[in-house]
């Protein structure tokens, strides 16, 4: 069942169109990686999907009962966020704010949901620790738990592995596959094309002259996929 339908969408950033006439559909249970060179509009597209940027033209429609408040979002982490002065539990609980309707307190069920997500990601023992004192990998687990507090059906991740070492990155890919196996639709921006082709079921490649959207198998056989996967590009987009 289609959860997000993007039809002939154009989105501008700082008055310059960076997404032009893009169309694709996200089905329930998809694991989609969005790749492309810097400036190709990956983050702009994700913000458009979340309603954080207006569309210049086209439409983005949600199906399968999906609401914006039910989509978890893990943005690129800034230095300010890395130094955020709060406990792990407080950061994770803040993911329930959309659910709480901006009430001045969290309900017992919301606290239980946060506890379950911390347990699922192996960070329950860190709940009283200061977020800014954690390692990069631990911080990403906290932010993922926060996003999962909001996610009912879909989670969007913008370069979640940036700055993480290969071992931690491999662990996170396992977590993503596990979540997808539980029925969560995953949309993830990454610069690592080879890892995307290894783990994702579908690829959206935003290019300067042409875009690709389809299965990972079809991407491997496509001209643009072959160029980045097999022709000495190293599988990394910068």
What is the tens place of the pLDDT at every residue in 4-57? 999 999 999 888 889 999 999 999 999 999 999 888 999 999 999 999 999 999
The pLDDT, as a whole number, for residue 237 is 56
Tens-digit pLDDT profile for residues 110-168: 899 999 999 999 999 999 999 989 998 899 899 999 999 988 789 999 998 887 888 88
Residue 77: name the closest of 19, 134, 4, 8 by CA. Answer: 134
Is the per-residue pLDDT at 238 higher than 50? no
Weakest mean pLDDT among 13-22, 105-114, 199-208, 228-237: 228-237
Neighbours of 221 (CB within 10 A): 10
pLDDT at 230: 79
pLDDT of residue 107: 86
**157 Cβ contact list (under 8 Å, min separation 6):** 73, 74, 144, 147, 176, 186, 187, 188, 189
Distance (Å, whole) CA 140 – CA 172: 9
What is the tens place of the pLDDT at every residue in 10-21?
999 888 889 999
Say yes or no to pLDDT of 209 above 90: no
- Closest to 40 measured CA to CA, from 21, 57, 58, 17: 17
Alpha-carbon distances of 75 from 104, 113, 147, rounded to whole Å: 25, 21, 9
Residue ranges in 182-215 assigned as alpha helix (H)? 193-199
* pTM of this structure: 0.87
Count of CB atoms within 10 A of residue 232's CB? 7
Q: CA geometry: angle at 144 spanning 143 and 149, to 5°?
A: 95
Q: What is the pLDDT of residue 129?
A: 95
Residue whose C-alpha is closest to residue 177's, from 213, 154, 153, 201? 201
- Lookup: tokens for 123: 């960070």
In angstroms, rounded to a whole number, what is the distance separating the alpha carbons of residues 184 and 201?
13
In this predicted model, what pLDDT tens digit does every residue of 48-84 receive, in sequence order? 999 999 999 999 999 988 887 778 999 887 654 667 7
pLDDT by residue (tens digit) across 174-201? 999 999 999 999 999 998 999 999 999 9
Nearest to 39 by CA among 190, 162, 206: 206
Residue with more model confidence, 121 or 210: 121
Highest mean pLDDT among 94-98, 104-108, 168-172 belongs to 168-172
Assign residue 39 a region: left if phi > 0, alpha if psi is -120 to 50, beta otherwise?
left
Q: How far apart are the C-alpha atoms of 65 and 55, rounded to whole Å?
A: 22
């Amino acid at each position: 069942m289609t959860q997000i339908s993007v039809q002939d969408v154009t989105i501008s950033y700082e008055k310059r169109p960076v997404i032009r006439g893009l169309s694709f559909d996200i089905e329930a249970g998809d694991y989609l990686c969005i790749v492309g060179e810097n400036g190709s509009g990956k983050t702009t597209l994700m913000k458009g999907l979340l309603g954080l940027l207006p569309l210049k033209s086209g439409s983005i429609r949600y199906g399968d009962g999906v609401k914006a408040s039910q989509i978890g979002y893990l943005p690129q982490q800034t230095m300010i966020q890395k130094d955020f002065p709060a406990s792990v539990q407080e950061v994770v609980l803040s993911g329930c704010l959309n659910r709480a309707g901006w009430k001045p307190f969290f309900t017992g069920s919301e606290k239980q949901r946060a506890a379950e997500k911390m347990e699922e990601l192996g960070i329950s023992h860190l709940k009283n620790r200061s977020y800014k004192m954690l390692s990069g990998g631990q911080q990403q687990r906290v932010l993922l738990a926060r996003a999962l507090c909001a996610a009912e059906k879909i989670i969007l991740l913008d370069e979640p592995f940036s700055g993480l070492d290969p071992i931690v990155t491999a662990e996170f890919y396992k977590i993503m596959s596990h979540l997808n196996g539980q029925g969560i639709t995953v949309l993830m921006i990454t610069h690592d094309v080879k890892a995307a082709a290894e783990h994702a079921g579908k690829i959206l490649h935003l290019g300067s002259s042409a875009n690709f959207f389809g299965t990972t198998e079809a991407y491997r056989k496509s001209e643009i996929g072959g160029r980045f996967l097999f022709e000495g590009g190293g599988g990394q987009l910068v």
